[in-house]
Amino acid sequence: MRTSILTTCTLAFLLLSSCKKSTTPSTVNLSYFLESAPSIEGKQEYLSSPFVTAGDRIYMVGHQDGSFPEIGWHIKGEMGGIWDHPIKLMDGFEVSLIINDRETTLDEAQSFTNYPMANQHTFQLDEHDLQIERCQFVPDHKEGLVVQYVLINKSDQAKKVKLQFTGHADLRPTWLGERTKMKDGQDETYFIEKQDAYLVKDTDNPWFTIFGADQPSAEQINANYEYEGKGVAARLNYELNLVPGDSNLITFFIAGSYQSKNAAINTFQDLKANYPVYLKQKKGRYEVLANQSKLSIPDKDIEQAFEWLKYNCDWLIRTVPEVGTGIMAGIPDYPWWFGVDSEYALKGYMAIGQEEAVIKTIALLDSISEATNGNGRIVHEVSTNGAVFNPGNINETPQFASLIWEIYRWNGDQAFLERYFPTIQKGLDWLMTENDNDKNGFPEGFGMMEIHGLDSEMIDVAAYTQRAFADAAQIADILNKQDLATQYETRAIELKRKINEQFWSAEFNSYADFIGTDEQALHLIEDAIVRADTLNKPWAVKELQQSKQQILSHPSEQAKPFVMHHNWVVNTPMEMGIADQDKALVALETATKFVNPFGVFVTGIDRDESAGSDDGSFKGSKIFSYTGAVMTLPTGVQIVAENNYGRPDKALNYLQRMTRSFNYAFPGSMYEVSPDYGMITQAWNIYGFAVPIVQQFFGIQPDAAQKEVIIQPNMPKAWDDAALENVIVNENAVSLFYKKRGKRTSIKAKQTKTDWNLKLVLKDLPPTALEVRKGTIELVDGQLVISSNQEIELLIKDKD
């Protein structure tokens, strides 16, 4: 959807009329490439909030108004600016204009427009009859970015303008840099006349950044550094002559390296010579991403969000050649690699055809986990210098096994299974040998809920462990490890039974948060009461006090299930499809109590009676915290869970809630905490969209190893005209078209590879209800199966 009109240029090439001495080629207006690209304009009330200009090597975070405040908590005040991991290059830059001896700083933009591959800020200087547009992008695979200013003289008078570009450089290490002996030194500036640019070096390291423009500078000045740290500032001044009714362009290039001066300068020169080509290439690549798993549905908000989440996924790819390539968790405070975030997100990445990121991320996590743990345990959090902060929460190891199985279903690569099965085998052994102290089949330790004390037998760890053994059994069978397959399958069956028996609480109509002792529960209740009382949740305080009294009145020496926090993880048995049908339906209804208009609360006791109508901004604490939060991951899990039990309309309701966060603060993106708190772009958001849409609503179930795709639609009633095109399954591409008109439903499915088998499975329909136009029909285990090696087309006639 196009929500802004570019007024600067309709031609590709504009000469810089103010640059008579310039020997550089004609400057190219970036707007030319963006005119046909999707764009979304931001909200006025969020101009003082963050945006990202993304790239796989470099990215930039600033505010939508054009300023660069100190933001972030992971490295306090340092998570914004320009990063070339594992180092930071700059805190930001500042451009000011001096006209008739009056200086105006361009840090209060009147509008911000986001594109998949670029962004634009627009400044209106009415007192000077000027409009200035700042556009920027990061070329693929380059340690640099391009920032262009277009100055539009809307008056009938010529104007002389002094443009000042001040770069605030801060060459410093990433988070945990000290663990790999990265020491921040004082930065120094050098003006390089040959490049007409400032070079900045860290005095203790071969870390460099360079910035300059495509026009000759008139002055070069060391400036005041206005940020915390050991950085420096330098200013380049330019004299511009603005013709009446015309526009002038000046383009800046910022490059860096953590290896050498020559590398930074070479990138700078490369960008200067080739940036139009790089923007065109990046735009073309994003067009390919948009056309994979291309969704068309009546709900245009969800359709747009799904398209832009594909772009978000690409924004989050982080390459550090010395360490590897993988998706980072979120921007700005989690720009490095996580085990569990990837284990959710990569399932979604695969469903939208971004396989390269999937394969590289898995390889990175596996190699770092092996080097760190060596026992199959999957790491939790790794900084971009390779330093591991957390060697792994318990749930991440079983979730890795299920991720490998899921990716295999899409790529059919047995070598892929063979490569990672040793990690799975070691990991499952570590899981049960070292973490199941009472040998009851439930590993103990932290799962997704990182609440102090919640490290006994957690429901999410149990659910993901059960699924891991079920998936590992199938992998072992394919790899002809029959004894192991039988062992894993037996354990999976037993765990499913025990979860439904031992974690279920009939009193609360829910699966328990955890199984633990009275002592553990009482301690956690005291902490939970303080939390609920602090947040002014009287209903939660009352419920917790009743639970406390119940424990004291009926003490037990045996561990038992406790429902306490109503954490979102109690829904993981439904997400994994292992909950008994009757329990699942009751639990799903219970879960509806712990939502607001944006989705599911992380911790149910944080909700209050106003939650159902609370549709405003999330007021987080001054110190970063998830207390009281509604997050996209719990909501995504609930969407998957509802679909697993045949409730697509309920699932769609959660998807609509989640979509309300899209564009809320950062146009074209969805925050981690709904609607506007935490990370401005988050990797696991794609899980809650791609998996339900592709694999559940449209029902596309790949079996690439057998060259087969099974389609079993489970469409919400509101989606009466829906299409999903170009879903990539290995070398094949599958499309599905669904239309319901009155009592007639038409379904058309097609694929690009004729040596594959395409199957459409329909439940609870007699053959007489079908008019099959393309494909062959048969009855298999009470289900109608229509098959073809190319195209299926049929009409379903409802009963009168």
DSSP assignment of 637-677 equals: HHHHHHHHTT-HHHHHHHHHHHHTTTTSSSTT---SBTTTB
Please give the Cα distance from 335 to 339 (Å, whole number).
13
- Rounded to whole angstroms, the Cα distance separating 60 from 26 reads 26
pLDDT at 532: 83
* Residue 620: predicted pLDDT: 57
Count the neighbouring beta carbons within 10 Å of the beta carbon of residue 319.
Answer: 17
Q: Per-residue pLDDT tens for 676-686?
A: 999 999 999 99
Rounded Cα distance, 430 and 443, in Å: 10
- Identify the CA nearest to 497 among candidates 439, 579, 428: 579
Mean pLDDT of the chain: 93
Residue 171 has φ and ψ, to the nearest 5°, of: -80, 105
Per-residue model confidence (pLDDT) at position 134: 98
- Please give the structure tokens belonging to residue 251: 């383009």
pLDDT mean over 301-330: 98
Query: How buried is residue 723: exposed, middle or buried, by Cβ count under 10 Å (0-12/13-18/19+)?
Result: middle
Q: What is the dihedral of CA 673, 679, 681, 687, to 10 degrees?
A: -50
Round to whole Å and give the CA distance between 690 and 698.
10
Q: Which whole number is the average pLDDT over 536-540?
A: 86
Q: What is the mean pLDDT of residues 280-308?
A: 98
Contacts of 257 (CB under 8 A, 6+ apart): 84, 143, 206, 207, 208, 263, 264, 267
- Would you say 682 and 673 are in contact if contact means Cβ atoms under 8 Å apart? no
pLDDT of residue 22: 32
Q: Which of 705, 727, 707, 667 is nearest to 789 (CA)?
A: 707
Q: Identify residue 362 by its one-letter amino acid code.
A: I
Higher-confidence residue of 732 and 620: namely 732
Please check the confidence at residue 24 and state whether its pLDDT lies above 70: no
Confidence of residue 26 (pLDDT cuts 50, 70, 90): low
Share of the chain above pLDDT 90, in %: 84
Is residue 569 within 8 A of residue 447, CB to CB? The reply is yes
pLDDT given at position 799: 59
Q: Looking at the predicted structure, is the pLDDT value of residue 483 above 90?
A: yes
Indicate the residue type of 39: S
Query: Is-contact 34 6, C-beta < 8 A?
Result: yes
**Neighbour order of strands in the sheet with 294-296:** 294-296, 721-729, 732-741, 744-751, 791-797, 770-774
Q: Which residues contact 245 (CB under 8 A, 6 or more apart)?
A: 153, 154, 155, 156
pLDDT band with cut points at 50, 70 and 90 for residue 623? low
* Least confident stretch, 248-262, 313-327, 341-355, 541-555: 541-555
**Rounded mean pLDDT, 547-560:** 89
Per-residue pLDDT, averaged over 485-502, amounts to: 98
Q: Is the CB of residue 271 less than 8 Å from the CB of residue 278?
A: yes
**d(Cα 661, Cα 682) in Å, to the nearest integer?**
12
Q: Quick one: pLDDT at residue 611?
A: 55
Neighbouring C-beta atoms of residue 800, cutoff 10 Å: 4
Do 633 and 688 meet the contact criterion of CB atoms below 8 Å apart? yes
State pTM to two decimals.
0.94
Read off φ and ψ for residue 327, nearest 5 degrees: -80, 135
Compute the average pLDDT of residues 48-55.
Answer: 98
How does pLDDT run across 384-421, given as a tens digit for each residue? Answer: 999 999 999 999 999 999 999 999 999 999 999 999 99
> What average pLDDT does range 231-241 have in this prediction?
97
Residue 450 pLDDT > 50, yes or no? Answer: yes
pLDDT at site 4: 33
pLDDT > 70 fraction of the chain, expressed in percent and rounded: 94
Could you tell me the pLDDT band of residue 618, with boundaries at 50, 70 and 90?
Answer: low
